[in-house]
Amino acid sequence: MKLKKICLSCNKELKGRSDKKFCDQYCKSAYHYKLSQEQAPKFFNQVDNQLKLNRKILKEYNKAGKATVRAEIIIDLGFDPNFFTHYWKNQKGDVYLFVYEYGFLSKKENGRKKIILILWQEYMNHNKFKQ
């Protein structure tokens, strides 16, 4: 007696090899996508998603290359200053944190927390890689 095998995604009867699990590539992809959505987000995905959100917010508020915003405005949008890709220290000793090409520096002015936004500049490169 031969057992009927069914597709793990769409439940259609499978024909062909005995070890076949999906009827086509679409069903295989859909099955694994659904499986990944049901699992808790992996740490890498959480970090990557936060970096993308941070960059989007910094880009939105820094159209001119340099800007100052109240910290609560961008934090309310989901910006998390603990997620950044690299940093740059200027000659005054201020450390700007960067999310890719968009940098920020937290400051307190007149008792209010503000964030200075800048854009990465070529002169900020400390290490020049020779080819």
**Per the domain annotation, does 6 fall within a domain?**
no
Residue 49 pLDDT more than 70? yes
**Per the domain annotation, does 32 fall within a domain?**
no
Domain housing 48: 43-124
**Per the domain annotation, does 27 fall within a domain?**
no
Is the CB of residue 82 less than 8 Å from the CB of residue 38? no
**Per the domain annotation, does 69 fall within a domain?**
yes
Which amino acid type is present at position 58?
L
**Per the domain annotation, does 53 fall within a domain?**
yes
Residue 26 pLDDT more than 80? yes
Percent of the chain with pLDDT over 90: 77
Structural domain count, the chain: 1
Which two tokens mark 69?
Answer: 């915003």
Whole-number pLDDT of residue 1: 54
Considering the entire predicted model, what is its pTM?
0.69
Q: Is 11 left (phi over 0), alpha (psi -120 to 50) or beta?
A: left
